[in-house]
Amino acid sequence: MARFVGRRLLHLLPVLLAVTLLTFLIASLLPGDLAYTMLGDQATPDKVAALRAEMGLDLPIWQRYLHWLWDVLQGDFGRSFRTGQTVLSAVLDRLPVSLELMVMAEALGLLIGIPLAILCAVRSGSAVDRFLTGLAFGKLSLPSFMVAILLIYLFAVQLGWLPATGWVPFAEDPIGNLRSFILPALTLAFAEWPVLMRVLRSDMIATLQEDYIAMAKAKGLRSARILLVHALKPSSLTLVTVTGINIGRLIGGALIVETIFALPGIGRLLVGAIYARDFIILQGVVLFVATGFVLVNFVVDMLYAVLDPRIRHGRA
């Protein structure tokens, strides 16, 4: 097991390095002069030159990369030119919000997907099953920002039950905080449940064919117990894996949702930096998110191997 983890870590490091390189390269795509753009209407030749010297923009590109990488490894992701706040503190400020959103979204996705999957598996082939499966397929064509608009229209505009935007810290007002997360989390959950439902459904259909389910029925156990204890547990492996993989995908989805619902998360930080043309923050946040993405996928990979020993010993 340790050898497996070691091997994967060895694979991880070049990927992380490549991510930093890619981030840096993207940042260097900016046409025109970075210092000039940053100074905006305050730009004078002298100021531009001074800023360029300060930021080391005159150095060859590989040197700049290495300087930047060195800073990053020491925890210095840069500092916003506008606000003066370091990227790291800005990100850490907003991390709890993004995490709360992703956790709620995944939880809601499971809450919707699992019962529906069980229903479809039990009534496999019936009208209900086909309807829900079709619904899941249709949902693939409905992106999250559309779902967001629909939900806002329904719950905020028409019914007025939930706020369309706005966020309150949990410490200040727990109920208000949770209320402000419901629509965003639901939006993301709507993107999750079709995948979760499909995966669990097909696993459960296979499980329900097994002899031990017939045995459980022959023992005279209640249907609820058979489904939830005997059938659900063996079917959960793929579900757990998919849930883990989804966390990586949620990061992208959270971006849009935070922006729409004005939640002060990392996604909104990123998008805000783009709107404000704050390129230093942008570079730092992109690196942070990309690195987090890689690490999360790595951890999920590890967990998957823990759950399924076949993976540990070679490609399954």
Partner 1 sequence: MTSPLLSLESVSVELPTPRGLLRAVDKVDLGLMPGRTLGIVGESGCGKTMLSRAILQLLPKRARLSGCVTFDGRDLATLSAEALRRLRGPELAVVFQDPMTSLNPVLTIGTQLVETLQAHLGMGAATAIRRSVELLAAVGIPAPEQRLRQYPHQLSGGMRQRVAIAIALSCEPKLLVADEPTTALDVTVQAKILDLLAREQKRRHMSMILITHDLGVVAGRTDEVAVMYAGRVVERAPTSRLFGHMRMPYTEALLAAIPKLEAPPHTPLPAIAGRPPDPTRPLPGCSFAPRCRYADEQCRQAKPPLVDPDRGGGLYACWHPLALPAAAMGT
Partner 2 sequence: MAVLEIEGDTALVSPVRPRRRRVNGLFVAALVWIALIGLAAILADVLPIMSPTDMDMLGKREPPSAEHLLGTDQLGRDMLSRLIYGARISLTVGLLAPVVGLVIGGALGMIAGYLGGRFEALTVGAVDVLLAFPPLVFALAVTAYLGQSVFNLTMVIGVLSIPAFTRVARATTLSLTQREFVIAARTLGATHTRILLRELLPNVALPLLAFFLLAVAVTIVVEGALSFLGLGVPPPAPSWGSMIGEGRESLDIAPWLAFLPAGFMFVTVLAFNIVGDTLRALTDPRPGAL
Does 128 sit near partner 2 (CB under 8 A)? no
Does 306 sit near partner 1 (CB under 8 A)? no
H or E stretch at 131: helix 127-139
CA distances from 90 to 199, 267, 270, 276, 297 (A): 37, 12, 11, 15, 24
- Only one residue has tokens 């390189």, namely 21
- Least distance (Å) from partner 1 to the CB of residue 235? 10
- 8 Å CB contact between 316 and 310: yes
Q: Which is nearer to partner 1, 136 or 232 (CB)?
A: 232
- Contact partner at residue 233 from partner 2, partner 1, none, CB < 5 to 8 Å by partner kind: partner 1
Closest CA to 192 of 99, 109, 297, 112: 109
Using CB under 8 A as the binding criterion, the count of chain residues that bind partner 1 stands at 17
Q: Which of 96, 234, 248, 272 binds partner 1 (CB under 8 A)?
A: 234
Cα 16 to Cα 20: distance, rounded to the nearest angstrom: 6
Burial class of residue 188 in the structure, from the number of CB atoms within 10 Å of its CB (0-12 exposed, 13-18 middle, 19+ buried): buried
Q: Which is nearer to partner 2, 83 or 209 (CB)?
A: 209
- Least distance (Å) from partner 2 to the CB of residue 23? 8
- Contact partner at residue 247 from partner 2, partner 1, none, CB < 5 to 8 Å by partner kind: none
- 8 Å CB contact between 300 and 238: no
Does 56 sit near partner 2 (CB under 8 A)? no
Binding mask 229-248 for partner 2 (x = CB under 8 A): -------------------x
Q: Which of 105, 152, 232, 305 binds partner 2 (CB under 8 A)?
A: 152
Positions in the binding site for partner 1 (CB under 8 A): 210-212, 214-222, 225, 229-230, 233-234
